[in-house]
Structure 1
């Protein structure tokens, strides 16, 4: 049988395929297990006790204070906190300087070679790029948190139905769910353990996350503690409402896809057309700049383009 080279090559291919499949499965399972470990639990392994882990997590995320009342210094710092990234002040300054240097290079290549205007463009580029990157990271984390919120509420509902207290149900979420919701509910559990009120602790979690759905959960729990009622039933209804809300959001995103891509095309097309003509005919716009009104014309066009983007954004950004 092994005298036939086709059979021999087939066996070698099958053995190699099984080896590659085994290695990939091992790597995938390792990465999956590592990604599902809560950041809080990992911190607990390297610190002495839950209280130290709690303070260490808040410190690394740029937050401080006692009894859950963290001081979030300004809007930018709050946005950075809601990204979930552990960025020190030195690294923040370093990232901003790097973006300004990148803006300086972009300004020299595409805008102007005049030093003062290039520096202004570099600072403007650094500020805008920093805000956009922070907003992107924040929105991505809120999206991941919102997708995990309904299953987390289901865990709490099942735990409450089994007769466990609310604090134990919240701690169960921190152990069973991956980040970002695992660490956030872990901090919530630690705050309750240290004596914080549930309403204040949940408000602090909303400040750390910023998800609108979490605000509804916070308000519902606060009202329930004040007026009474079946908390498990309330949370179950909230979980279903969050799932329906996510479904409606996905439908709206699909319906408005054409309008959103049109907005991006309208934004990028003038710049693409300008640099295409500039590449094909380098002196095509020389008459515009030599007339003395080039800067004014470009400024007016950019202003109209900006307001057009706002109008299209308002048309395709639906409330739900």
Structure 2
């Protein structure tokens, strides 16, 4: 009994630790928002110190940008707490109720299967709960990250399409329709929904808010700010979107550079993190009597618990060392 529980805990901590090292961390859009708010705040303070000698146009635009950033920050904080937003980000059309029903059915099936294999009800309950609450959420997070990555990679091309359309005389609405018809998923689907919302009578700001709910990325936030500010204060939209496309491509290039520079650290984290459970598994397979003392004796169990604790701390430290966010 104790052997099975300790083995299950060790496997869970190892797998969860790898996921935390390679995936965890705060969202990049939150840090981007804080930097933007700091820059805007400093700009306003500097303008006040100079006696407000700047023209009213830039001041109004700056205040509008700050207001939009704060509104979207409050909205993003609400979205991060809801399962519905995660389902939308993953591209799943099902409701939250259906997700919980499917999760419950999966947990029940796993628990029944474990009991059928002759395990105790406690282990069956633990594995069933993990399957019901952990596995579906991990799948939704994986699908959401993959979909967001594909959307972000194709987003600069969409900005170029809008810029070329505007410079050739097309309205913005028609340029957005071209993106929904000519590009690949998930970019095409998101812009089709954006065009449909605009056609149903929603304002540009409301339609972009819904788009940001489905795809909460910094790129969508920047796009929303540019269109919203241009609609309210005017300006050269083609030039603004062209600059936005350049910024997004520069961010992508910087992410690739960081990924290349941290590749050695990531490989080291994989090797160091997999060594302890790998060695335990190999020695157990070659000489079970030698390793069983750790699982049957109280002192061995305490040593395993201490090893799991220190390994978790090491995984957390490695994750902090290799987790670079723009």
TM-score (norm 1): 0.69
Q: Which runs of 5+ in 1 are unaligned?
A: 1-70
Cα root mean square deviation, aligned: 2.9
Higher RCO, Cα 8 Å, sep 6+: 2
Q: Hey, which of these two has a bigger chunk of helix by percent?
A: 2
Q: Identify unmatched segments of 5+ residues in structure 2.
A: 1-77
User: Which range is displaced more, 124-133 or 150-159?
Assistant: 124-133
d(CA) in 2 for partners of 1:299, 1:108:
29
Query: Could you say which residue in structure 2 is the equivalent of 1:301?
Result: 307
Distance 2:114 2:273 in 1: 18
- Of 75, 94, 101, which aligns to 2:102? 94
1:81 aligns with 2:88: yes
Which one has the largest radius of gyration?
1
1:76-225 paired onto structure 2 within 5 Å: 76-87=83-94, 89-90=97-98, 93-94=101-102, 97-98=105-106, 101=109, 113-225=119-231
Q: Is the 8 A contact 1:99 1:126 kept in 2?
A: yes
SS at match of 2:185: coil
Q: State how far apart, in whole Å, the 2-side matches of 1:90 and 1:266 are.
A: 40
When residues 77 and 119 of structure 1 are mapped into structure 2, their CA distance, relative to the original with a 3 A threshold, is same
Distance 2:177 2:223 in 1: 17
Q: Provide closer, same or farther for how the CA distance between residues 106 and 263 of structure 1 changes in structure 2, counting only shifts above 3 A.
A: farther
Alpha carbons 1:107, 1:121 under 8 Å: kept: no
User: Which of structure 1's runs of 4+ aligned residues deviate more than 6 A?
Assistant: 103-109
In the TM superposition, what is the alpha-carbon distance from 1:319 to its structure 2 partner? 2.6
CA offsets 1:219-261 (integer angstroms, 9 cap, x no match): 2222222332111110011111111111111111111111112
Deviations 1:252-301 (A, max 9, x none): 11111111122222332222211111111112222223322444433332
Match of 1:42 in 2: none
User: Are the equivalent residues in 1 in contact too, given 2:177–2:191 (CA < 8 A)?
Assistant: yes
| Structure 2 SS opposite 1:85 | coil
**Closer, same or farther in 2 for the Cα pair 1:180/1:137, shift >3 Å?**
same
Contact 2:103/2:132 (8 A) holds in 1:
no
Superimposed CA distance per residue, residues 35-87 of structure 1 (whole angstroms, 9 cap, x where no aligned partner) = xxxxxxxxxxxxxxxxxxxxxxxxxxxxxxxxxxxx97953332121111334
